[in-house]
Amino acid sequence: MKRAKDGDGVGSITSVTSSSKILMRTRYSAWNLLADARGGHADWAPAWRDAEPRPRYDAVIVGGGGHGLATAYYLAKNHGLRNIAVIEAGWIGGGNTGRNTTIVRSNYLFPESARLYEFALKQYEGLSRELNFNIMFSQRGIVTLAHSRHDLNAQARWVNAMLFNGIDAELVDAAQVRQMEPRLNVGPGARHPILGGFVQRRAGSARHDAVAWGYARGASALGVDIVQNCEVVDFKTANGRVAGVKVRWQGREMDIACDKVGVAVAGHSSLLARKAGFDLPVTSYALQAMVTEPVKPVLNTVTLSPALGAYWSQSDKGEVVMGGALDHFPSYAQRGSLATMQQVVSATAEMFPSLGRLRLLRQWAGIVDIVKDSSPILGESPLPGLYLNCGWGTGGFKAIPAGGWTLAHAMATGRDHELAAPFRLERFHTGRLIDEAAAAGIAH
């Protein structure tokens, strides 16, 4: 085991050995970087412990994406639970969390959504420090383009709603857009002239893998078991409640007993719900993204054109990151169709002619969980003891801290967190939908 060093909480570098588990903690700091240089940096503890499943936990979280890992972290950190497992069918962050275009914003329309996403954005602002892990959060601003009078009117309403909700938003004219993003084809003479737009300056992007890894590291340091390559294939019930999960691990099936299960599996939510005996109003689609070869810094902001169905930013590596709308048909195939890709590429050539000759380096897709009102489903499911975190659709990366925080609260206390209460599944019975289609649209 590694030598012990100073620090506390997530960051402390003590190795705690008990009969059943070893907790490895490494505080990342300039001092420890220097100290470890003496040993040629051969002495760092792994960021998290890859665990084997045990037969019983107090709580099991299905899905090792950002939401599942954040839930485990907050269950341990905020509620003191330690006997927790995250069960991940593949590798952590290998689902949508590691496939998204990393946009973080809180520019939603309705107060319920504004509160939820703003809470998440505020958490993001302090997350690198909280997790002692650099999530490369960059508040470079998001610019939503207006190409018509209708867009301008809709955006004026949108900005007013945001300001009413206490969230920063600014209407800008074409000249201001050009100043922020000089390579945009603003017109005149452009096929889709830009009349203006609106900006949320505190929005931006964060490194997606780092968010998953940071939460995994934090959770693991607090004693959470992270079990990879382990698929939940069924649920166990007793006395009308969930009593555990059946998993497939290393080619064999085994039962894990627990009192509470949190399910955060994005596009696979309806499949697992069916195994638990209920249906979800979720349809799964492929959502794709792509990047060009890396170039020197050419884009300053995240820019989005709802009318053209595409959005752009530049990664720290220099790749131009491009995304668009959902594929047109439901699917579990993690690829993405040529038609959507073509739309994104042609919109890019139209809006940024100077990027037209860049080569596409990679294209990929994730399976997202689309709900009719484009809002998440949070809270206890029809099977008591089983809690849901799904329906984030095209935009759940930005919500990871809030999704984890509120699911942990529900699992630990048995009550909805006030931020999550409006998003219960029951809204599809009561009709109190929170229709964020306009703000979710293609705006991830």
**How far is it, in rounded angstroms, from Cα 406 to Cα 378?**
8
As to burial, measured by CB atoms within 10 angstroms (0-12 exposed, 13-18 middle, 19+ buried), residue 323 is buried
| Residue 109 vs 232, nearer CB to ligand FAD | 232
| Residue 28 vs 364, nearer CB to ligand FAD | 364
The residue among 55, 43, 48, 54 whose CA lies nearest residue 23 is: 48
We find the least distance from the C-beta atom of residue 44 to ligand FAD, in angstroms, to be 25
User: Which residues bind to ligand FAD, rule: CB under 6 A?
Assistant: 62-68, 87-90, 94-97, 99-103, 231-232, 264-266, 268, 272, 287-289, 323, 366, 368, 392, 394-398, 444
| Residue 186 vs 227, nearer CB to ligand FAD | 227
**How far is it, in rounded angstroms, from Cα 401 to Cα 420?**
12
Q: Among all residues, whose Cβ is closest to ligand FAD?
A: 65
We find the least distance from the C-beta atom of residue 141 to ligand FAD, in angstroms, to be 14
User: Which DSSP string corresponds to 370-433?
Assistant: EETTS--EEEE-SSTTEEEEE--GGG-STTHHHHHHHHHHHHHHSS--TTTGGG-TTHHHH---
Q: Are 325 and 343 in contact (CB under 8 A)?
A: yes
We find the least distance from the C-beta atom of residue 3 to ligand FAD, in angstroms, to be 34
Residue 52: which residues within 8 A CB-CB, separation 6 or more?
225, 227, 249
| Residue 29 vs 334, nearer CB to ligand FAD | 334
We find the least distance from the C-beta atom of residue 268 to ligand FAD, in angstroms, to be 4
**How far is it, in rounded angstroms, from Cα 421 to Cα 418?**
5
We find the least distance from the C-beta atom of residue 214 to ligand FAD, in angstroms, to be 14
Q: Which residue has the tokens 């100290």?
A: 35
| Residue 67 vs 260, nearer CB to ligand FAD | 67
We find the least distance from the C-beta atom of residue 444 to ligand FAD, in angstroms, to be 3
DSSP H/E element including 329: strand 320-330
| Residue 158 vs 397, nearer CB to ligand FAD | 397
| Residue 184 vs 256, nearer CB to ligand FAD | 256
We find the least distance from the C-beta atom of residue 266 to ligand FAD, in angstroms, to be 3
Q: Which amino acid is at 278?
A: F
